[in-house]
Amino acid sequence: MKEAWRRIEDAKSLTLLTHVNPDADTLGSALGMYHVLKHMGKKVHIFNATRLPYNLDFLPGITKVRDTLQEAECYISFDAGSFDRLGIKNECSPLINIDHHATNTRYGTYNIIDPEAAATAQVVYDFCKANGARIPKESALCLYTALVDDCGFFKYESVDARVFEFAKELCEAGAEPEYVAQMLTMREPLAKLRLIQKVLATLELKINAKVAIVYLTQKMLAETGGTKEMADDALNMARSLATVEVAVLMREEEDGRIKVSLRSKSTVDVGSIAVRFGGGGHKRAAGFTSDLHDFATVVQQVLEVLKGELVAQ
């Protein structure tokens, strides 16, 4: 942490890197750091290679995110388990890799990884706090948003006393929980409800109803006007079924490949399953992208692995 911070202090310009198909943790963590660095008088750029989520438009500084990579004296990545998740072809150096995924490949010049953290935002906060950096109100709001989104508003296994202490300190620094909750959960577009309806209509129960599978196609997106991240709620709803241990979302990408998102309740380590298919993530939430363009084949591959996991319990 000290060496990485010295790199930051010595750099006049920095570029913050967020992962493709961004969520609240990667963007909230980067924007949290952005405001810290701006208060330090640094020149800061934020990069993302893909479209930003519609529901994070309230984050302070979100309009600063660009899809063109700016050269800088130092680069920092957030919440990306591997370098390819950044959507960048050429290596960046020096690179500070900040993350909380146990499957992180340690691709940075400096790797600040805490698999016990509930969100990368927590690692960012600890990093800044350990080096005496001031956390402005804007940073507190961004980091709090990242935290509650990544731990499901304090519902997930990653939540412990340290998480609540972190949330408390962010509130003391200016984060407003009610405002964040309203922005994240009470501004749903009609397109999302229509998309979820279509996704749930595809629900299949497998392996004695312990596995729920739902599908998202490009046709569904076109028909509803929804976006792919809107289907995440359907995946969580599938997992909420009483008999289900693992929920799977099979999503058709624009290039025809199949993106697989895995969620488990309490016993199956979907992170290790995702790694077997070239992906990664956490014990209860993970994913991978298959090069195959056929739902049926990918489903069969996943079910074979899940069958072994569930039978072994």
| 173-177 contacts at long range (C-beta below 8 A, 24 or more positions apart) | 173/135, 173/136, 173/137, 173/139, 173/140, 174/136, 174/137, 174/138, 174/140, 174/141, 175/137, 175/140, 175/141, 175/143, 175/144, 176/141, 177/144, 177/148
Domains of the chain, each with CATH number or no CATH:
2-185 (3.90.1640.10), 190-311 (3.10.310.30)
CA-based nearest residue to 281, from 112, 79, 144, 86: 79
pLDDT of residue 91: 86
Residues of the chain with pLDDT under 50: none
Omega before 94 cis (within 30°)?
A: yes
Separation of alpha carbons 258 and 251, rounded Å = 6
- Is 237:245 a contact under the CB 8 Å cutoff? no
The predicted structure's pLDDT at residue 286 = 94
Nearest Cα to Cα of residue 214 among 188, 233, 238: 238
Give the pLDDT confidence of 219-263 residue by residue, as tens digits. 999 999 999 999 999 999 999 999 999 999 999 999 999 999 999
**Prediction pTM value:** 0.91
